[in-house]
Amino acid sequence: MSEKANYRRNFLKGLLAIGVISTTCPRKLLAKIEPEKLVSDPKGILGIYKLKLSDYPKLATMWGVVRIEIPTIEGAKTRVVITRIPKDSYGVDFSVILENCTHQGRPIYDVNPETEIIECSGHGSTFDPTGTYIAGPANKDLETYKITYDGGEYLEFECYFFDPKTDVSEQNSKYFLNDIYPNPCDDFAVIGYGISESNHLDVDLIDLNGFIIRSIHSGFIESGSYNLRFNTSQLNTGTYFVKMKYLNNEKIVKLLVAH
Ligand code: FES
């Protein structure tokens, strides 16, 4: 078989494998974990997450994948994809990657062991198993987390954490509104927001003239962090703002809609 035919065969096999993964294992969530400890650093509070590998037998096998929900990345609940990868090729035993693509936030598929490529479920951007960008509209690497693994029983990774009970909450006037993703968005967007004390909260979508065109949330809310997905498919292409009002404070984030 010619080299070209061989490449095509392997490529098609790769596509088939991706199809099987997406059908039989549609980004299955295996667990939720809380940070083991919180550490202050100049940028804020780092959450240190610790996995006991024997609790995740899939990670004992090369290319094994688990998806885990962690309570906050700068306030928003999110999922990370942990993959066992060959150290000889990539210099580390595991990769820990944010589940959402850097293009428009769609979830990534598990790594394809045959092609050693991660593909985005949205528009097909591709990345290597450590999240390094290869091709497609994403144009940048996936978001990854610092990992510590000494070959033992535990794997540790870290990311920035917003805990309403920490000093960071004081510095942020007891509430926060994260960036929105994807941004620009097409048919949906996700806002991470939260407050440290239960109280009334308004989150509104505003147009360029300052008119509220939709209430995303209005009413009493328990303290904590939230991840809110809302539909933008009916909005015209253009610029909008998300305004969060809590007590006497307001925060505003720009949102671009592009269909
Ligand atoms: S969201 Fe990943 S390529 Fe578009």
Can you give the CATH number for the domain in which 239 is found? 2.60.40.1930
Q: Would you state the pLDDT for residue 193? A: 73
Residue 18, domain member (yes or no): no
Residue of 27, 99, 103, 141 to mutate, ligand 1, most atoms within 8 A of C-beta? 103
| Residue 11 CA: distances (Å) to CA of 78, 114, 117 | 31, 9, 11
CA proximity to 147, closest of 42, 48, 55 = 48
**Does ligand 1 lie within 6 Å of residue 21's CB atom?**
no
| Amino acid in the structure at residue 85 | I
Residue 20 domain flag: no
| pLDDT number for residue 21 | 31
Collect all residues with Cβ–Cβ distance below 8 Å to 23 and sequence separation of at least 6.
none
Please choose from 125, 139, 190 the residue to mutate so as to test ligand 1's pocket, defined by most ligand atoms within 8 A of CB: 125
- Domain end among 112, 127, 161: 161
Handedness of CA 53, 59, 60, 62 (dihedral sign): negative
Note the pLDDT of residue 82.
94
Which residue's alpha carbon is at the smallest distance from atom 1 of ligand 1? 104
Per-residue pLDDT, 178: 66
Same domain, 139 and 31: yes
Half-sphere exposure of 190 (CA within 13 A, CB side): 14
Q: What is the pLDDT of residue 11?
A: 37
Rounded-to-integer distance, Cα 16 and Cα 27, Å? 17
Range of the domain at 253: 174-257
pLDDT value at residue 134: 96
Q: Is residue 181 in contact with ligand 1, taking CB distance under 6 Å?
A: no
Based on the fold, state whether residues 116 and 140 are members of the same structural domain: yes
Are 86 and 149 within one domain? yes
Residues 218 and 242 both lie in one domain: yes
Q: Is residue 147 part of a domain?
A: yes
Has residue 253 been placed in a domain?
Answer: yes
Q: What is the pLDDT of residue 245?
A: 80
Q: What is the mean pLDDT of each run of 10 residues along the chain (259 residues)?
A: 44 35 39 68 70 90 89 58 95 91 86 96 94 94 89 86 42 59 85 75 83 86 74 90 77 84
Handedness of CA 118, 119, 121, 123 (dihedral sign): positive
* In a domain? residue 46: yes
- Alpha carbon of 124 to ligand 1 centroid (Å): 6
**Residue 168: inside a domain:** no
